[in-house]
């Protein structure tokens, strides 16, 4: 991306101008973004996990997406299972410069991914072979694949088509502006996934244990419960209001009488109150 | 969800509403980006000039933040060390990429020192510290800025909402506050501010 000559004020004006059309194009892609979020929500609702990856600055974005889902910035939003494959340098080591279906993200997807999961790859349009290989491996395994990619509006996709169930494109040939639009796109995906999850569930078959309301074991909602008994091995009996279940309290300092927030049978926070010190 | 999506009509068609609200959010994101570029323009130019001078003198950029801002800091470091147009990359590193160091400091001392301790060890006068925060109130980020200033570094701070303690205590030589209460919109506008700083600093360095 060539920077036009000029005073800093000219450059600022150009910087704003270069962002306007791609930003409006993202708004026009609201339909595909919402469709991707619906697909992701359906998988998450059934216990799928979100697996993210990217190279270069997109590795950072992969990490950002994962933390959005696992640790929501909005208090009260449920934690959803998500992990970035780009945060562990050792896992990506392999032979230097290695690429292909048996290295990098593809290898991690093959060992860690499950058919019900979601793979979200962030492509910068530059050297994104490992991300493409990761998405291809994910498709083969049956994961839902989502690609955030970038393409020049003139050329209509210069880096070649990406094989994914949902391809969300930043229509822009400046890598920095494209990255900005990816940040907006994944924030929107997170927000929309929660909107969809908050809608009444469609007529999907429900698990037997989910018909009566709260099942701490299967529910993907974080549920506040009362600790009634501590057990060896980091376990505890809790009162969900509709019965007693055994959950793990290994991650928190829970005492009998405490209210803890349980997600997928794991207490993830002590909401306080009640502990009698026993 | 009404707090996130006030555009959702209570009895409207859910699918249509979802698309309409997505359009509105994307438009809001663009509007905020353009508004901060317009409003913070002179401050961006002055900050970019100070950064360019630091890089010309051999300075290194250190970026840091928590959570999503930690990955945004990683991206900032990557964007500064990658050539952009005719502008070469500069030495830039993120202080959140080394899990051994972060966990050692947090476990052995306190999470508050995870950035300050690294800056005390690695930073030199004339380096640049860039702190990313949405609240402006994260203690470890503020202590990082304090340490950077003690060392004689150029300090750059990004915050949201009112700017928090970062603004109140004047901890950054160059402060950019994004006027939004949405963490997401703040981060989106901050990404643009960082990228434009990189564009301007590259230009200023090339022209000097």
Domain ranges of chain A: 8-198, 207-278
Question: Residue A270: in which H helix or E strand, if any?
Answer: strand A266-272
CA-wise closest residue to B71 among B92, B94, B90: B94
Please tell me if residue B68 touches chain A, with a CB cutoff of 8 Å. yes
Task: From residue A226, give the alpha-carbon distance in Å to each of A79, A230, A252, B1.
Answer: 19, 11, 14, 26
Q: Coil, strand or helix: which one is B86?
A: coil
Q: Give B-chain residues touching A195 at CB under 8 angstroms.
A: 1, 4-5, 8, 18, 21
Q: Give B-chain residues touching A198 at CB under 8 angstroms.
A: 1
Residues 37-66 of A with CB under 8 A from B: 37-38, 56-57, 59-61, 63-64
Spatial separation of the C-alpha atoms in residues B31 and B196, rounded to whole Å: 16
Alpha helices in chain A (DSSP H): 8-28, 30-45, 57-70, 89-92, 104-112, 129-141, 175-198
B50-59 pLDDT per residue, tens: 999 999 999 9
End-to-end CA distance of chain A: give it in Å, rounded: 64
Please tell me if residue A230 touches chain B, with a CB cutoff of 8 Å. no
Q: Which residue of A has its CA nearest to B26?
A: A27
Cβ separation A64–B48 shorter than 8 A: no
Residues in chain A, total:
278
pLDDT score for B90: 96
Chain B interface disruption, residue of A64, A77, A86, A199, most B CBs within 10 A: A64
Smallest CA–CA distance, residue B93 to chain A, in Å, is 12
B147-200 pLDDT per residue, tens: 999 999 999 999 998 999 999 999 999 999 999 999 999 999 999 999 999 999
Residue B133: how many other CB atoms lie within 10 Å: 26
- C-beta of residue A175 within 8 angstroms of C-beta of residue A150: yes
Written out in words, the top-level CATH class of the domain with range B12-207 is alpha beta
**Nearby residues of A199 by Cβ (< 8 Å), 6 or more positions away:** B14
Please tell me if residue A26 touches chain B, with a CB cutoff of 8 Å. yes
Domain extents in chain B: 12-207
Residue A266: how many other CB atoms lie within 10 Å: 18
Smallest CA–CA distance, residue A104 to chain B, in Å, is 18
Chain B interface disruption, residue of A187, A193, A201, most B CBs within 10 A: A187
**Could you give the ipTM of this predicted complex?**
0.92
Please tell me if residue B6 touches chain A, with a CB cutoff of 8 Å. no
Spatial separation of the C-alpha atoms in residues B189 and B191, rounded to whole Å: 5
Same fold flag, A8-198 and A207-278: no
Spatial separation of the C-alpha atoms in residues B196 and B174, rounded to whole Å: 14
Question: Residue B49: in which H helix or E strand, if any?
Answer: helix B41-56
Cβ separation B22–A63 shorter than 8 A: no
- C-beta of residue B154 within 8 angstroms of C-beta of residue B51: yes
Residue B162: how many other CB atoms lie within 10 Å: 14
Superfamily of domain A8-198: Glucose-6-phosphate isomerase like protein; domain 1 (3.40.50.10490)
pLDDT score for A181: 98
Question: Which of B14, B45, B78 is facing A56, going by the closest CB pair?
Answer: B78
Spatial separation of the C-alpha atoms in residues A244 and A226, rounded to whole Å: 9
Residue B191: how many other CB atoms lie within 10 Å: 28
Residues 240-259 of A with CB under 8 A from B: none
Cβ separation B22–A23 shorter than 8 A: no
pLDDT score for B48: 97
CA-wise closest residue to B60 among B95, B96, B90: B90
CATH architecture of A207-278: Roll (2.30)
Q: Which residue of A has its CA nearest to B191?
A: A180
Q: Give B-chain residues touching A194 at CB under 8 angstroms.
A: 1, 4
Q: Where are the beta strands (DSSP E) in B66-198?
A: 92-94, 128-132, 154-160, 174-178
Cβ separation A15–B37 shorter than 8 A: yes
The distance of Cα A66 from the centroid of its chain, to the nearest Å, equals: 4
Note down pLDDT in tens along chain A; length 278 residues: 444 567 888 999 999 999 999 999 999 999 999 999 999 999 999 999 999 999 999 999 999 999 999 999 888 899 999 999 998 877 776 554 555 556 789 999 999 999 999 999 999 877 789 999 999 999 999 999 999 999 987 765 545 678 899 999 999 989 999 999 999 999 999 999 999 999 887 544 444 344 444 445 444 567 788 898 888 888 899 888 777 888 888 888 888 888 888 877 788 888 876 544 33
Q: Give A-chain residues touching B198 at CB under 8 angstroms.
A: 176
Please tell me if residue B9 touches chain A, with a CB cutoff of 8 Å. no
Smallest CA–CA distance, residue B153 to chain A, in Å, is 24
Q: Between A and B, how many CB-CB pairs are < 8 A?
A: 156
pLDDT score for A210: 42
Q: Which residue of A has its CA nearest to B49?
A: A8
B100-154 pLDDT per residue, tens: 999 999 999 999 999 999 999 999 999 999 999 999 999 999 999 999 999 999 9
Q: Give B-chain residues touching A28 at CB under 8 angstroms.
A: 23
């Amino acid at each position: 991306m060539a920077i036009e000559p000029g005073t800093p004020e000219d450059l600022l004006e150009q910087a704003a101008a270069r962002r306007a059309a791609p930003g409006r194009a993202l708004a026009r892609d609201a339909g595909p973004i919402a469709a991707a979020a619906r697909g992701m929500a359906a998988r998450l609702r059934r216990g799928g996990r979100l697996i993210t990856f990217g190279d270069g600055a997109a590795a950072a974005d992969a990490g950002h997406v994962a933390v959005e889902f696992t640790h929501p910035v909005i208090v009260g939003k449920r934690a959803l299972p998500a992990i970035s494959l780009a945060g562990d340098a050792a896992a990506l080591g392999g032979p230097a410069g290695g690429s292909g279906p048996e290295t990098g993200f593809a290898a991690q997807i093959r060992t860690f991914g499950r058919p019900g999961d979601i793979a979200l790859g962030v492509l910068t349009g530059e050297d994104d072979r490992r991300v493409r290989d990761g998405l291809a491996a994910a498709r083969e395994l049956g994961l839902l694949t989502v690609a955030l990619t970038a393409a020049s509006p003139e050329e209509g996709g210069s880096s070649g088509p990406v094989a994914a169930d949902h391809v969300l494109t930043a229509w822009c040939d400046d890598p920095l502006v494209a990255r900005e639009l990816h940040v907006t796109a994944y924030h929107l995906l997170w927000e929309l996934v929660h909107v969809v999850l908050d809608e009444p569930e469609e007529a999907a078959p429900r698990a037997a244990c989910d018909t009566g309301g709260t099942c701490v074991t299967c529910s993907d909602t974080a549920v506040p419960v009362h600790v009634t008994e501590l057990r060896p091995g980091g376990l505890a009996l809790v009162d969900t209001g509709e019965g007693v279940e055994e959950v793990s309290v290994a991650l928190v300092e829970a005492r009998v009488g405490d209210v803890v927030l349980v997600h997928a049978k794991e207490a993830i926070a002590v909401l306080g109150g009640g502990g009698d010190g026993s | 969800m009404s707090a996130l999506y006030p555009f959702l009509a209570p009895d409207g068609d859910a699918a249509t509403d979802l698309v309409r609200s997505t359009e509105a959010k994307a438009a809001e994101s663009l509007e905020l980006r353009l508004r901060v570029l317009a409003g913070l323009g002179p401050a961006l130019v002055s900050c970019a000039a100070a950064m360019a001078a630091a890089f010309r003198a051999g300075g290194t950029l250190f970026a840091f933040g928590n959570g999503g801002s930690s990955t945004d800091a990683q991206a900032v470091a990557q964007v500064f060390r990658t050539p952009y147009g005719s502008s070469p990359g500069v030495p830039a590193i993120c202080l959140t990429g080394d899990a051994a160091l972060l966990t050692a400091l947090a476990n052995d001392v306190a999470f508050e020192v995870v950035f300050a301790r690294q800056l005390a060890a690695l930073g030199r006068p004339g380096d640049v510290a860039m702190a990313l925060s949405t609240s402006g109130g994260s203690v470890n980020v503020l202590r990082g800025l304090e340490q950077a200033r003690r060392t004689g570094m150029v300090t750059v701070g990004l915050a949201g909402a009112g700017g928090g303690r970062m603004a109140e205590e004047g901890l950054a030589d160059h402060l950019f506050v994004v006027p939004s209460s949405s963490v997401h919109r703040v981060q989106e506008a901050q990404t643009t501010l960082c990228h434009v700083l990189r564009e301007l600093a590259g230009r200023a360095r090339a022209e000097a």
